[in-house]
């Protein structure tokens, strides 16, 4: 879950959820707007990463690598056949938006998929371990409560009270402070309250990951010093 701060489900959680839905005839819809098209090293993460086959998958963003707006919904053959049987043999699921199937967007998506399958997916899978391990080293900083992530997405969560994980008023602005220092050092992160979320380009290299971690470390240290000077935090 990216917008919640890169919340990674425990091992087997999604498989159990999928089974419960199947047992109770509940549709399982996977939101892969963030996790698809290389972010976790595969075109889709549901089966290859989490071992599930959803009834529906929603996607966007990575399908064109952000170069053109495009989104879509995939449905399983089982669900498609149910729709067909629901009314008439020739019935269809009528839907659409003003710019559905935009030819430019679809052309960009097809070319983007070609590029992903020419080695970028393998690169993302190979380098993700270093990405996660490098960022994990930031947990030795007193302001950092947890570093978590999967593939090429991660979150550095800061806490004013590391022992009790207490979301004090200070936490509400820590992310913005770190973000400001990161920008001064030419690194862009996504500040979410007391968290910094990162989804780097799939082409990122080991030296770039190390540089990113170094900038984050420096920015967090600057924030710590700033908070101490202002009497808002004592370390």
Assess if residue 8 is contained within a domain. no
Which pLDDT does position 180 carry in this prediction?
A: 93
Kindly report the CATH number assigned to the domain that includes residue 64: 3.40.640.10
Query: Do 99 and 147 fall into the same domain?
Result: no
Q: Answer with the one of 95, 118, 141 that is the final residue of a domain.
A: 118
User: Does residue 146 have a pLDDT over 90?
Assistant: yes
Query: Do 149 and 176 fall into the same domain?
Result: yes
Assess if residue 1 is contained within a domain. no
Helix (H, G, I), strand (E, B) or coil at 156: strand
Query: Do 17 and 114 fall into the same domain?
Result: yes
Report percent pLDDT > 70 for the chain. 92
Query: Do 147 and 207 fall into the same domain?
Result: yes
Which pLDDT does position 90 carry in this prediction?
A: 73
Q: Where are the alpha helices (DSSP H) in 49-205?
A: 77-85, 103-115, 121-136, 171-184
Beta bridge partners of 192: 195
Kindly report the CATH number assigned to the domain that includes residue 160: 3.90.1150.10
Q: Which of 193, 204, 206 is nearest to 158 (CA)?
A: 193
Assess if residue 83 is contained within a domain. yes
Assess if residue 192 is contained within a domain. yes
CA 207 and chain centroid, separation = 22
Lowest mean pLDDT of 37-51, 116-130, 216-230, name the range: 216-230
Helix (H, G, I), strand (E, B) or coil at 145: strand
Q: What are phi and psi of 161, to 5 degrees?
A: -120, 95
Query: Average pLDDT over the chain, rounded to whole?
Result: 89
CA 220 and chain centroid, separation = 22
Q: Mind listing the pLDDT tens digit for each residue in 20-41?
A: 999 999 999 999 999 999 999 9
DSSP 43: S
User: Does residue 148 have a pLDDT over 80?
Assistant: yes
User: Does residue 163 have a pLDDT over 70?
Assistant: no
Which pLDDT does position 96 carry in this prediction?
A: 75
Per-residue pLDDT band for 209 (boundaries 50, 70, 90) equals very high
Helix (H, G, I), strand (E, B) or coil at 23: helix
Range of the domain at 38: 13-118
| pTM metric for this prediction | 0.88
Helix (H, G, I), strand (E, B) or coil at 57: strand
Query: In whole angstroms, how far apart are CA 94 and each of 14, 56, 59, 81, 90?
Result: 30, 16, 19, 15, 12
Assess if residue 235 is contained within a domain. no
Place of tokens 């700033």: 226
Assess if residue 44 is contained within a domain. yes
156/3: higher pLDDT: 156
Query: Do 105 and 134 fall into the same domain?
Result: no
How many domains does the chain contain in total? 2
Assess if residue 35 is contained within a domain. yes
Which pLDDT does position 164 carry in this prediction?
A: 54
Contact between residue 226 and residue 177 where contact means Cβ atoms under 8 Å apart: yes
DSSP 9: P
Rounded distance between C-alpha atoms, residue 208 and residue 6, angstroms: 21
């Amino acid at each position: 879950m990216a917008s919640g701060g890169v919340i990674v489900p425990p091992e087997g959680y999604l498989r159990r959820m999928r089974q419960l839905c199947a047992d109770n005839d509940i549709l399982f819809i996977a939101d892969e707007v963030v996790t698809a098209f290389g972010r976790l090293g595969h075109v889709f993460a549901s089966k290859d990463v989490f071992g599930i086959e959803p009834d529906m998958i929603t996607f966007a963003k990575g399908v064109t690598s952000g170069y053109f707006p495009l989104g879509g919904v995939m449905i399983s053959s089982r669900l498609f056949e149910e729709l067909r049987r629901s009314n008439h043999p020739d019935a269809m699921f009528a839907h659409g938006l003003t710019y559905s199937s935009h030819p430019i967007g679809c052309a960009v998506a097809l070319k983007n998929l070609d590029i992903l399958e020419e080695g970028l997916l393998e690169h993302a899978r190979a380098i993700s371990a270093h990405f996660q391990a490098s960022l994990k080293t930031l947990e030795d900083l007193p302001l950092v409560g947890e570093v978590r992530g999967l593939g090429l997405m991660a979150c550095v969560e800061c806490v004013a009270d590391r022992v009790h994980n207490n979301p004090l008023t200070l936490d509400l602005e820590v992310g913005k402070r770190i973000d400001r220092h990161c920008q001064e050092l030419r690194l862009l992160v996504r500040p979410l309250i007391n968290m910094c979320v990162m989804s780097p380009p799939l082409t990122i290299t080991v030296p770039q990951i190390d540089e990113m971690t170094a900038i984050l470390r420096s920015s967090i240290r600057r924030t710590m010093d700033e908070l101490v000077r202002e009497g808002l935090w004592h370390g």
